[in-house]
Structure 1
Amino acid sequence: MKIFSSEQLYEADTITIENQNSTSEALVERAGTQVFNWLHQRLRGAQAPIRVFCGIGNNGGDGLVVGRLLIAHGYNVTIYIVNCSDKRSKNFLLNYDKIKNITKNWPHLMKGETDFPAINPDDIIVDAIFGIGLNRCPDGWVKKLIQHINVSKTFKLAIDIPSGLFPNSAVKDKEAILKANYTLTFQTPKLAFFLPETAPYISNFDILDIGLDRTFLNTTEALAQLISKIEAQRFYQAREKFGHKGTYGHTLIVAGSYGKIGAAVLSATAAFRIGAGMVTSFTPKCGYTILQTAIPEAMVITDPQEEFISAISIDFKPSAIAVGMGIGKNPATVEALKNLFKTQNVPFVIDADALNSISEDKEVLTLLPKHSILTPHPGELKRLIGEWQDDYEKLEKTKEFSKKHEVVVVIKGAYSIIVYGEKLYINTSGNPGMATAGSGDALSGVIVGLLSQGYDPLLASVFGVYMHGSAGDIALSKMGYEAIMAGDIIDNLAGAYLELFASEEEGVENSSEKK
């Protein structure tokens, strides 16, 4: 699924109206009806007080349609007009006239703080004050109204986007954004729904199809691509009937130092579980017995040094290499990393201490192999690209880094984002239980295992992040958030493959609430 900017969505509205020989009013009616249907299916006539707050633009028009339909179906509805300007959209005015004709209790016109209603915990709030067209932060009494709604204990439903939140630009005033319990967004989700600074205002969301022009949606280059099960199914590369271990590649895992051999074990195991034909781990001498015992399927080559990696020497040509997990930053290890980059012309996954070496040593950065996959957590990313003011600047800086060095960057987080040049891919699988030591080592193993099987770097990154998150979701269904360990994610990669093509009835339960 694509994620579009507000400008692109307005263009989609215009093209839809032209191609469907329709009107803007009809499109607003369609959108408001979809919101009403969502509410009606869940409320089933329940008489909880519903308070609909409408702005005076098109989002307010949507809210008036919702209010009118709720009233027509016998619900207990009060409508408030947030009269914050003397400019009113045509769609607002048309729907304001319609609603006056069906209710004796005309919409309450709000002009200041004295018009704020008392809100009870059992009320339902429908937020239709501002939509995706907002271009400045709410201020004055309107900001106070949003704060008044926020402090209430009631359920808050936002139409398209919570009021005060910009769909594809940074938060400027955290106190002027409505905190929705649920958001019903039209046609496609917005980029703000997936970024650490803005996603908390959305909580949960559903996407309502309002019939925007399919040709435009399919052919227009979007801000980002959302990766879910449907997309992941397309990425999967089926096995050959007469394939053998050599067909699926020989992965090299360069990982571990004294006290951190577990990173090598996790990465090697994950590479096998995702389907690599062979795996060799290069590690300090102290890791030999651990690796041979923990994962007998793997081959092990040891460094001359007992406790750290100093000189990486192998006698085979790997299909792909993952490096950095638990290797530390001993000067000899950094030199070994430089030599590895110079001598091995294969796909790389670069993680953990290898990333820190790149950010601290300019020579390592100049040797960074093109088309490598970098998998930083937020701290490592900051060391690579520098400080950022907000999530949008973070994305722009990551794009610049990706383009300059011709690499894929996986920004790990609640919604991991894969950056390749100007392209963004946002992952939807995974859950907070995966915030545990070793989860990143497992991800590196997953991605390098896919590289070894012949997936190209971008596909290995996008598909690997999805499968890693899916395995975490399966682990969640068995043990809850707190009990998940990195090994549990790896153990459930087999289930992630089965889940990939399972029907909804067969599959593991999954919902946005786990985010």
Structure 2
Amino acid sequence: MKIFTADQIYEADKFTIEKQQISSDVLMEKAATELFKWIHSRLQGAEVTIQLFCGIGNNGGDGIALARHLQEHGYAIQVHVVNYSDKRSKDFLLNLERLKDRKIWPEFINHDSGLPELSPNDIIVDAIFGIGLNRPPESWVGDLIKHINDSRAFVLAVDVPSGLPSDKAPWNKEHVVRASYVLSFQVPKLIFFLPETGIYQNQWELLDIGLDSEFLGKTATAYELIGKPEVLPMYRPRLKFSHKGTYGHAVIVGGSYGKIGAVQLASNACLTVGSGLVTAFVPECGYHSLQTAIPEIMVLTDEEDNTITKIDIPFKPSVVGIGMGMGTEEDTVKAFSALLKNIETPMVIDADGLNILAKHPKFMKDVPKQSVLTPHPKELERLIGEWEDDFDKLEKAKTFATKHDCILLIKGAHSITIYNTIGFVNTTGNPGMATAGSGDVLTGMITGLIAQGYSSLNAAVFGVYLHGLAGDMGVSHNGYEALKASGIIENIGKAYMELLRPPEIENNKEA
């Protein structure tokens, strides 16, 4: 699913109005109707006070039109117009007149007005600002937003939480509505998925307001939301007449004294996700533990007992995953550099492999094209430099990925895979996956997918989705706190089965 910018959404509105020969008011009425239907289907006329806070732009117009529908169906409403400017959109004014025609008189809140009384039992509809907010709310509007947040009422935001700009972090964290639920029009917004802006809503849902499907389909976007419909076409099913060699030979390189477990997790995940053969290359100290823990893999060792000093792979691997638990000793750095100069196959680079690249940026010229880099936040900062906010981070990541022709993974609640100028935003995963070794498992999974013939980009996008889905299935049985990295591996097979489950079975299960 595409993620559109504010400018693209405005263009979609304009295109729809012109193509369908309708007025902008008709589109606003459609939005208000969908908002009402969502609310009414859940409240069913319940006796509750709905407090609507409406700005004086089109977002406020949506709220004003919604108020009319609510009143016509017997709901107790209080309408507040947040009078933050002398300018008003024409559709806001049109719907305000319709409201007054029904003898509904909104309370106008100005800079010198007192704060309205709110109850925790109220439902608050936030329609103050929309996606076009391009300057900080005035301080008195910020105080009103803080008042809404302090009310402990259920807050339903229209399109986006008020106070959030669409292309930067908020100017003041206290001046953003914290929404219990966001009803967003037609397409998801990037701010729902970033750490600095995603914290302002607990849940979100899309409402179809009839924006033109031709425009939405043909318009290229800088970000795509990755769910089951997007990853299913990437899946490469097993062939009947195949053997282990059909699915590649992956090599996992890493480990040092006390950190062999990282290689064990990566190797096990690589094998479990479907790599035909897996060989681990570790210091001598890791030989017996790996051969005992995972009898299905092969093990090569360095001559040195505790660290990697020379990486000698006596065959041409399909892919190399490297870095987990490896350390950054001088001899290890030299061994890593030598491998980069001699390898032609794509790589998946994690952990200390990334730390070495950050300390020796000249090594990047030797990293095979289309390699996948999987940094956690601090490793990412070492690679691309500090950033001002999440949007600046994404731009720096795109610049880095384009310059070095690599796939760069930004890990997080919604991990984002960057390639050139496109970002793929993941939808699976949960807080239980914030646990030691989870990243090692992901590296192993992406490595195993590349071994089977997935392109590096598809392996990264598919691997992140499957990794998160396995984590989701793990917490469904054990809860967030008890999920371990090994538990993610144990659920990879179940994640595949869930991914391939026919829709009708899913529907029956939900019923």
Q: In structure 2, what is the Cα distance between the partners aligned to 1:159 and 1:454?
A: 44
Match of 1:52 in 2: 52
Match of 2:474 in 1: 475
* Matched letter for residue 146 of structure 1: I
Match of 2:272 in 1: 273
* 1:340 aligned onto 2:348: no
Q: In structure 2, what is the Cα distance between the partners aligned to 1:295 and 1:189?
A: 42
1:86-165 equivalence runs, <5 A: 86-102=86-102, 104-165=103-164
Q: In structure 2, what is the Cα distance between the partners aligned to 1:116 and 1:439?
A: 47
Match of 1:240 in 2: 239
CA contact (8 A) 1:477 1:508 kept: no
Number of equivalenced pairs: 510
- The TM-score, its normalising length taken from structure 1, stands at 0.97
CA contact (8 A) 2:252 2:266 kept: yes
After TM superposition, give the deviation of residue 56 of structure 1 in Å: 0.6
After TM superposition, give the deviation of residue 150 of structure 1 in Å: 1.2
Query: For each residue in 1:138-182, what CA deviation from the matched residue of structure 2 results, as whole angstroms up to 9, or x when unmatched?
Result: 013212111111111111110000111012223222122111111
1:156-175 equivalence runs, <5 A: 156-175=155-174
Match of 2:312 in 1: 313
* Matched letter for residue 100 of structure 1: K
After TM superposition, give the deviation of residue 506 of structure 1 in Å: 4.7
Unpaired stretches in structure 1, ≥5 consecutive residues: none
Q: In structure 2, what is the Cα distance between the partners aligned to 1:273 and 1:507?
A: 24
Q: In structure 2, what is the Cα distance between the partners aligned to 1:503 and 1:137?
A: 47
1:168-317 equivalence runs, <5 A: 168-317=167-316
Query: For each residue in 1:395-431, what CA deviation from the matched residue of structure 2 results, as whole angstroms up to 9, or x when unmatched?
Result: 1111111111111000111100001110100000000
Q: In structure 2, what is the Cα distance between the partners aligned to 1:89 and 1:314?
A: 68
CA contact (8 A) 2:168 2:389 kept: no
Q: Post-superposition, which runs of at least 4 consecutive aligned residues in structure 1 deviate over 3 A?
A: 503-511
Q: In structure 2, what is the Cα distance between the partners aligned to 1:325 and 1:487?
A: 15
* Matched letter for residue 17 of structure 2: I
After TM superposition, give the deviation of residue 368 of structure 1 in Å: 2.0
* Matched letter for residue 11 of structure 2: E
* Matched letter for residue 307 of structure 2: F
Q: In structure 2, what is the Cα distance between the partners aligned to 1:245 and 1:4?
A: 43
Match of 1:362 in 2: 361
Q: In structure 2, what is the Cα distance between the partners aligned to 1:267 and 1:444?
A: 6
After TM superposition, give the deviation of residue 111 of structure 1 in Å: 1.6
CA contact (8 A) 1:429 1:473 kept: yes
* Matched letter for residue 438 of structure 2: S
* Matched letter for residue 73 of structure 2: H
Over the aligned positions, Cα root-mean-square deviation in angstroms equals 1.5
Q: Bigger shift: 500-509 or 233-242?
A: 500-509
* Matched letter for residue 238 of structure 1: P
Q: In structure 1, what is the Cα distance between the partners aligned to 2:197 and 2:260?
A: 37
- The TM-score, its normalising length taken from structure 2, stands at 0.98
After TM superposition, give the deviation of residue 116 of structure 1 in Å: 2.1
Q: Bigger shift: 500-509 or 446-455?
A: 500-509
After TM superposition, give the deviation of residue 466 of structure 1 in Å: 0.2
After TM superposition, give the deviation of residue 240 of structure 1 in Å: 1.2
Gap change, CA 1:277 and 1:211, over 3 Å in 2: same
After TM superposition, give the deviation of residue 509 of structure 1 in Å: 12
After TM superposition, give the deviation of residue 362 of structure 1 in Å: 3.2
* Matched letter for residue 482 of structure 1: E
SS, match of residue 181 in structure 1? strand
Q: In structure 1, what is the Cα distance between the partners aligned to 2:313 and 2:214?
A: 52
After TM superposition, give the deviation of residue 365 of structure 1 in Å: 2.7
After TM superposition, give the deviation of residue 223 of structure 1 in Å: 2.5
Q: In structure 2, what is the Cα distance between the partners aligned to 1:320 and 1:164?
A: 46
Q: In structure 2, what is the Cα distance between the partners aligned to 1:362 and 1:125?
A: 52
Q: In structure 1, what is the Cα distance between the partners aligned to 2:506 and 2:346?
A: 33
After TM superposition, give the deviation of residue 129 of structure 1 in Å: 0.6
* 1:32 aligned onto 2:32: yes
CA contact (8 A) 1:273 1:494 kept: yes
* Matched letter for residue 16 of structure 1: T
* Matched letter for residue 53 of structure 1: F
Query: For each residue in 1:337-377, what CA deviation from the matched residue of structure 2 results, as whole angstroms up to 9, or x when unmatched?
Result: 01111111001000000000000023423322221100000
CA contact (8 A) 1:51 1:126 kept: yes
* 1:9 aligned onto 2:9: yes
After TM superposition, give the deviation of residue 23 of structure 1 in Å: 1.2
1:350-499 equivalence runs, <5 A: 350-499=349-498
Identity of aligned residues (%): 53
After TM superposition, give the deviation of residue 508 of structure 1 in Å: 11
CA contact (8 A) 2:407 2:418 kept: yes
After TM superposition, give the deviation of residue 330 of structure 1 in Å: 1.0
1:52-71 equivalence runs, <5 A: 52-71=52-71
CA contact (8 A) 2:321 2:447 kept: yes
CA contact (8 A) 1:2 1:225 kept: yes
SS, match of residue 114 in structure 1? coil
Gap change, CA 1:412 and 1:234, over 3 Å in 2: same
Query: For each residue in 1:461-503, what CA deviation from the matched residue of structure 2 results, as whole angstroms up to 9, or x when unmatched?
Result: 0000000000000001111100000000011000110000224
Q: In structure 1, what is the Cα distance between the partners aligned to 2:36 and 2:59?
A: 14
Q: Bigger shift: 229-238 or 106-115?
A: 106-115
After TM superposition, give the deviation of residue 207 of structure 1 in Å: 0.8
Q: In structure 2, what is the Cα distance between the partners aligned to 1:131 and 1:362?
A: 42
Q: In structure 2, what is the Cα distance between the partners aligned to 1:507 and 1:467?
A: 17
Q: In structure 1, what is the Cα distance between the partners aligned to 2:34 and 2:204?
A: 14
SS, match of residue 202 in structure 2? coil
Q: In structure 2, what is the Cα distance between the partners aligned to 1:366 and 1:399?
A: 17
Q: Bigger shift: 167-176 or 25-34?
A: 167-176
After TM superposition, give the deviation of residue 458 of structure 1 in Å: 0.6
Q: In structure 2, what is the Cα distance between the partners aligned to 1:56 and 1:381?
A: 41
SS, match of residue 133 in structure 1? coil
Q: In structure 2, what is the Cα distance between the partners aligned to 1:510 and 1:339?
A: 53
* Matched letter for residue 382 of structure 1: E
CA contact (8 A) 2:161 2:200 kept: yes
SS, match of residue 203 in structure 1? strand
Q: In structure 1, what is the Cα distance between the partners aligned to 2:29 and 2:232?
A: 35
After TM superposition, give the deviation of residue 10 of structure 1 in Å: 0.2
Match of 2:43 in 1: 43
Q: In structure 2, what is the Cα distance between the partners aligned to 1:296 and 1:382?
A: 37
* Matched letter for residue 96 of structure 1: L
Q: In structure 2, what is the Cα distance between the partners aligned to 1:503 and 1:305?
A: 51
After TM superposition, give the deviation of residue 122 of structure 1 in Å: 0.2
* Matched letter for residue 109 of structure 1: F
